């Protein structure tokens, strides 16, 4: 039998695998095949980056509420996703899920192909100008995000806005 066709109770899976992502935040893959990656992600997180890819991403909030910051027409906007609600982030929209402690969500993304756009942007918290962007793909989106964030945060020149002069602080927790 095809393994992904064997049904299971997601809540029970979360209880059994909770050590992988609770209490300190993180994520664990539920399914991954040639086209989709489905994972559970917990808060809190400390994301200062905005993810950009050319495919949509589906968010289903299992526990608690999150804020997904996104950039539209050069401005930072917020979408609040409460427990039990779903949201679909269109492709090519820079977005940054902000997950407070105690939250849990299911995320569905398309597996990146070698020619797909997949990158990270950082924006000024003061004026929303783009501070820095990088596109990289080696098959490990989460690892890339962490490595790229460390590089950005350790470089004050990258964190200094050329539009307003403000130095971007290092992310200390979710922006809710």
**pLDDT tens digits, one per residue of 60-110:** 999 999 999 999 999 999 999 999 999 999 999 999 999 999 999 999 999
Beta-strand (E) ranges in the chain? 26-32, 36-42, 50-53, 57-63, 66-72, 75-81, 86-89, 95-98, 104-110, 118-123, 130-135
What pLDDT shows up at residue 12?
97
Q: What three-state secondary structure class fits 71?
A: strand
End-to-end CA distance of the chain: 44
Q: What pTM was computed for the model? A: 0.90
Task: Please give the mean pLDDT across all residues of the chain.
Answer: 91
What pLDDT shows up at residue 148?
81
What pLDDT shows up at residue 75?
98
Is residue 44 pLDDT above 90, yes or no? yes
Which residue segments constitute the domains of the chain, with CATH numbers given? 3-159 (2.60.120.10)
What pLDDT shows up at residue 37?
94
Instruction: Decide if 155 contacts 173 (C-beta within 8 A).
Output: no
Give the chain's length: 176
Name residue, tokens 């968010």. Answer: 59
How is the chain split among helix, strand and coil, in percent rounded to 5? 20, 40, 45
What pLDDT shows up at residue 20?
84
Q: What are 134's two structure tokens? A: 């990088």
Is residue 165 pLDDT above 60, yes or no? yes
What pLDDT shows up at residue 173?
80
């Amino acid at each position: 039998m095809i393994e992904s066709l064997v049904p299971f109770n997601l809540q029970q899976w979360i209880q059994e695998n909770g050590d992988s992502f609770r209490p300190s935040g993180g994520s664990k893959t539920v399914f991954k095949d040639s086209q989709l990656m489905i994972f559970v992600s917990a808060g809190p997180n400390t994301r200062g980056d905005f993810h950009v890819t050319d495919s949509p991403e589906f968010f289903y909030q299992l526990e608690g509420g999150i804020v997904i910051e996104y950039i539209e027409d050069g401005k930072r906007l917020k979408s609040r996703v409460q427990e039990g609600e779903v949201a679909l982030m269109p492709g090519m929209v820079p977005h940054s899920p902000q997950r407070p402690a105690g939250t849990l969500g299911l995320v569905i993304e398309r597996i990146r192909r070698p020619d797909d756009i997949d990158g990270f942007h950082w924006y000024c918290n003061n004026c929303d100008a783009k501070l820095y962007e990088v596109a990289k793909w080696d098959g490990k989106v989460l690892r890339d995000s962490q490595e790229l964030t460390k590089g950005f945060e350790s470089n004050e020149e990258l964190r200094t806005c050329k539009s307003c002069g403000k130095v971007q602080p290092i992310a200390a927790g979710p922006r809710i």
